[in-house]
Amino acid sequence: MGDVSNPSLSPLPSADRPDVTTRLRDALLGASFTADGLLELLGAPAYAALSRSETVPALRATRGDTPLEVLVRLFLLQQPVPHARVTDVLPVDACLETGWLVRADDEVAATVDVRPYGGPGGEDWFIVSDLGCAVGGAGGIGNHAEGVVLGVGGASTTLAGLTVRTPVSAALDLGTGSGIQALHAAAHATRVTATDVNPRALHITALTLALSGAPAADLREGSLYEPVAEDDAYDLIVSNPPFVISPGARLTYRDGGMGGDDLCRRLVQETGERLNPGGFAHFLANWQHVEGEEWTDRLRSWVPRGCDAWIVQREVQDVTQYAELWLRDAGDHRGDPAEYQARYDAWLDEFEARKVRAVGFGWITLRRTGAAEPSVVAEEWPHPVEQPLGETVRAHFDRVDYLRAHDDAALLESHFTLAGEVVQEQVGLPGAEDPEHVVLRQNRGMRRATRVDTVGAGFAGVCDGTMSAGRILDAIAQLVGEDPVALRDRTPAQIRLLVEQGFLEPA
C-alpha cells in the first residue's frame, strides 16, 4: 500500500488487525455512537454546527460522563479523555497497541477522526479521516498538510446521493479519499476496486470499510485509470476527483495537478471504454467558462463515444469568487497577507492566461449505450433538488431509451400517466378570466417546473394510462373546436418534452 508516513500527519492505526477493528466497532455501536445517537445527544443545532466547522455547541453538549459523550469528545471532537474513563467504554489496550489511540500520562487521544455515518438502508457506518477533517473539512482547521485525507463533506454526500444503486458485479471508485463512495458501492456491488494517488487515502479507506463492517475492497495506488488493467471494465464507476482548477498541485485532496480542467476532461473521456454495456459513471467536476466558447459545447466534447450523458451545471462562480473560495478552504486567508495576495494573483494569472471568465461546478453522468446516436443532455439547474437522486438519474436514462425508440406516430399511439407529486399552477393577473400561462411543477427529484399551453395542461391532467395520446388529443380538439389533425401534428413535441423531463411516464 506504500509509505503512509508523513511527519506533519499522525501515524495511522493498523489496517491488519480485523479482530481489534471488530471489537472497536462493537464498542462504538454499544454506546450508540451512531448518526442517530449523535443527533439525539447533540440536538439539531449543535449537530448542524459541526458541518460549519463550529465545535463549541457540541463541546457544551458533551460535558457529561456517559459513554456516548466520551466517544464524541474522543473521536469526533479530538479532545483528550482520562484513560480510566475510556477503559469502561473501549478495548483500550488493543486500541493503543494497534494505533487507534495514543496515551500521554493519564489521558488518551484519538489518532484519527471517526464520524458516524448513516447508510441509505439504515446501516451504521463509520468514516475514518485525518484528525480534524471529519468536521468542516481541511479549511475548517487550517490544515495545510500535504496528503491529508478529508472525511464526510457536501461533495461526497452529493455524489453518493446521485449514484444509481442497482446490484452490480464490479464497481470502481476513482480517487477514493476516505472511502465513502467505496463504502456505498460495497452495499450493492459484488466486487469493489478503489484507487487513489495518495497511499494514505488507501490505508484510511481500508479502515473505513473494516470499521463499518463492509467487505474489503481491492485497493490500488495511482492516478485516474493507471492502476487498473486496460481490459478491466465495470458496471459502475464513481469519482469525486481533485477537480479544483488551481495554479499548481499544493493539496492532494483537491488539486489535480493538470492544467485548467484537463483532469476532469481526461477522467470523463477515458471512461467510455471502461464501462460495461448499460453501466453508469458518476462524477463531480469543475469546468472552465472560456471566452468565446459555450460551456455546453466544451462539456459535450468530453463525452466519450458510445455513451449517453446527462450533464447538470449546478453553480457558476466568477474567477475572483472561485479563487477566494479555495484560498479560504486552505486557510490562506488567516496567514501572511503578502503570501495570500501572491497566491490570489497566481490564481488570476492562471485564469487570464487561459481566457477563463468563470468556473462551473456540477454533475456528469455517463451510461454506456449501443444506440447509433447517443443522447447528450447538458443543462443548467441551480435550483433545489431532492436527494437522493439515484432513482431520478436512472429514470432519466430510461426515458432517453423510450423516446429514442418512439417517433411521433408511436408517441400518439402510446399511453401515459402523470408522474406522482406533479401540481399545476395558473399564473396571471388577479381577477383575470384566463391565466397568462400554466406551469406544471414537480415536488420531488429535480423539482422541475415547465410552462405548458392549455392543450398541454389539459392533456397532462387526463393522462391516467387508459387512453392513447392520440385519442386524448382528439377529445381535446373536439372540446376546443380545433382541427384534430393539426393538433396531432403540433403536440408530439410538447409530449416529448414532458416525457423527457419526467412529468409524464409511459404507462
User: What order do you get walking across the sheet with 356-368 strand by strand?
Assistant: 218-221, 189-196, 168-174, 234-239, 275-290, 356-368, 307-318, 376-380
- pLDDT at residue 347 above 50? yes
Name the pTM for this structure.
0.93
- Confidence grade of residue 50 (pLDDT, cut at 50, 70, 90): confident
Q: Residue 1's pLDDT is what?
A: 35
DSSP track, 169-217: EEEEEES-TTTHHHHHHHTTEEEEEEEES-HHHHHHHHHHHHHTTPPPP
Model pLDDT for residues 439-453, shown as the tens digit of each residue: 999 999 999 999 999
pLDDT mean across residues, the chain: 93
Check pLDDT > 70 for residue 138. no
| Residues 136-151, mean pLDDT to the nearest whole number | 63
For residue 142, what pLDDT is reported? 46
Residue 51 pLDDT exceeds 90: no
Q: How far apart are CA 405 and CA 410, in angstroms?
A: 9
Mean pLDDT value across residues 286-304: 98
- pLDDT value at position 500? 97
Q: What's residue 308's pLDDT?
A: 98
Which pLDDT does position 253 carry in this prediction? 77
- Does the pLDDT of residue 113 top 90, yes or no? yes
Residue 280 pLDDT more than 80?
A: yes
pLDDT tops 70 at residue 379: yes
Percent of the chain beyond pLDDT 90? 85
- Return the pLDDT at 135: 60
Task: List the one residue out of 219, 212, 208, 207 whose CA is nearest residue 17.
Answer: 207
Q: What is the pLDDT of residue 8?
A: 63
pLDDT tops 80 at residue 242? yes
412-432: pLDDT as tens digits: 999 999 999 999 998 878 877
Contacting residues for 475 by C-beta, under 8 A, at least 6 apart: 467
Position 54 scores a pLDDT of: 87
pLDDT in tens, 63-93: 999 999 999 999 999 999 999 999 999 999 9
Lowest mean pLDDT across 99-108, 239-248, 352-361: 239-248
DSSP one-letter string for 468-498: EHHHHHHHHHHHHT--HHHHHHHSHHHHHHH
46 pLDDT tier (thresholds 50, 70, 90): very high
SS3 of 101-134: the string is EEEECCEEEECCEEEEEECCCCCEEEEEECCCCC
* pLDDT tops 70 at residue 323: yes
Which amino acid appears at position 448 of this protein?
R
- Residues 194-232: tens digit of each pLDDT: 999 999 999 999 999 999 999 999 999 999 999 999 899
Phi-psi region of 465 (alpha: psi -120 to 50; beta: other; left: phi over 0): left
Decide: 481 and 397 in contact? Cβ < 8 Å: no
At which residue does the C-alpha cell 447538458 appear? 378
Residue 144 has pLDDT above 80, yes or no: no
At which residue does the C-alpha cell 481533485 appear? 242
pLDDT at 146: 74
